[in-house]
């Protein structure tokens, strides 16, 4: 298993989507450059349509049509990606959707029962996605990502469209999972409270073509992240509001 011991280094000099028909080309990203230390939880925020998801796709290797370079701290790091949609296969059970991330003989399959317990889905292990709520489906997606024991975890607004109590519970769950097995996380969100509760560092992108307008550390311990008042105070410090 690869282990990232040096920083992830991201340099995107230019990312442009070409013109299609009468639609002009779209210059999305420009002069993006940052390093991420192993075990960091980096929030990426900024205007809608500003290239945040495009940046994650480039880091994941899903988009190689750009000027620049992404360098990892090891050869062939283990990368997991959690999208806005849980992307569960409807004909597979909760357990099977999690197991699908691994080869049939992978020893990490033995970790699934414990992960199901951690995310509160033991009783739903044999249920199909249509039988469980959206919040539970997102917990399945989290378990599927963590069963990979990733070196790098990319998350693109994974809790969007959920009601506040469900989203808050999932943030708490993510902090717990991450604190038990620290991995390098890059997390896209528009939610400033979510950014402060989860992140160790916040990268704010400018309007397009996006560049890094601000790079701010979050001054909260893991324990503080469960304290709403401390989260709000840190939100005021960083964003000037709560």
Q: Where are the domains of the chain?
A: 89-133+140-149
pLDDT of 223? 86
pLDDT of 23? 78
Rounded Cα–Cα distance for residues 240 and 236 (Å)? 4
Token representation of residue 72? 């990892």
Strands 212-217 and 201-205 come out as antiparallel
pLDDT of 222? 83
Residue recorded with tokens 């013109």: 19
Residue pair 151/77 in contact (Cβ under 8 Å)? The answer is yes
Alpha-carbon torsion (214, 236, 222, 163), positive or negative: negative
Residue recorded with tokens 């951690």: 118
**Residues paired with 34 in a beta bridge:** 10
Residue pair 111/143 in contact (Cβ under 8 Å)? The answer is no
Rounded Cα–Cα distance for residues 82 and 140 (Å)? 10
**Residues paired with 69 in a beta bridge:** 11
Q: What is the pLDDT along the chain (242 residues), one digit of tens a residue?
A: 445 456 799 999 999 988 877 777 789 999 999 999 999 999 999 988 889 999 999 999 999 999 999 999 777 789 999 998 999 999 999 999 999 999 999 999 999 999 999 899 999 999 999 999 999 999 999 999 999 999 999 999 999 888 999 999 999 889 888 988 889 999 999 999 999 999 999 999 998 799 999 999 999 988 898 888 999 999 999 988 65
Rounded Cα–Cα distance for residues 128 and 130 (Å)? 6
CB within 8 A of 217, min separation 6: which ones? 200, 201, 202
- For the chain, give the number of residues: 242
pLDDT of 57? 95
pLDDT of 226? 84
Nearest to 66, CA basis, from 29, 33, 35, 34: 29
Token representation of residue 212? 């890094």
pLDDT of 67? 95
pLDDT of 1? 46
pLDDT of 26? 84
The SS3 of residue 28 is strand
CB within 8 A of 119, min separation 6: which ones? 139, 140, 142, 143, 173, 177
Rounded Cα–Cα distance for residues 123 and 114 (Å)? 12
The DSSP element (H or E) to which 235 belongs, if any, is helix 228-239
DSSP 126: T
């Amino acid at each position: 298993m690869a282990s990232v011991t040096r920083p992830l280094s991201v340099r995107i000099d230019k990312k442009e989507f070409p013109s299609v028909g009468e639609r002009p080309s779209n210059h999305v990203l420009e002069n993006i450059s940052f390093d991420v230390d192993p075990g960091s939880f980096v929030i990426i925020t900024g205007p809608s349509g500003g290239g945040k998801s495009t940046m994650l796709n480039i880091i994941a290797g899903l988009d190689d049509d750009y000027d620049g370079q992404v360098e990892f701290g090891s050869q062939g790091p283990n990368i997991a990606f959690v999208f806005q949609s849980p992307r569960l296969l409807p004909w597979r059970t909760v357990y099977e959707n999690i197991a699908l991330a691994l080869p049939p003989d992978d020893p990490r399959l033995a970790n699934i029962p414990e992960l199901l317990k951690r995310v509160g889905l033991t009783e739903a292990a044999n249920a199909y996605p249509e039988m469980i709520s959206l919040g539970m489906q997102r917990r399945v997606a989290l378990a599927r990502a963590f069963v990979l024991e990733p070196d790098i975890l990319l998350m693109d607004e994974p809790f969007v469209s959920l009601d506040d109590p469900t989203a808050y519970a999932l943030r708490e769950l993510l902090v717990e999972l991450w604190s038990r097995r620290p991995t390098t996380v890059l997390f896209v969100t528009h939610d400033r409270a979510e950014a402060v509760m989860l992140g160790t560092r916040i990268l704010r992108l400018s309007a397009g073509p996006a560049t890094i307008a601000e790079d701010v550390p979050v001054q909260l311990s893991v324990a503080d992240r469960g304290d709403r008042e401390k989260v709000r105070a840190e939100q005021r410090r960083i964003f000037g509001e709560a």
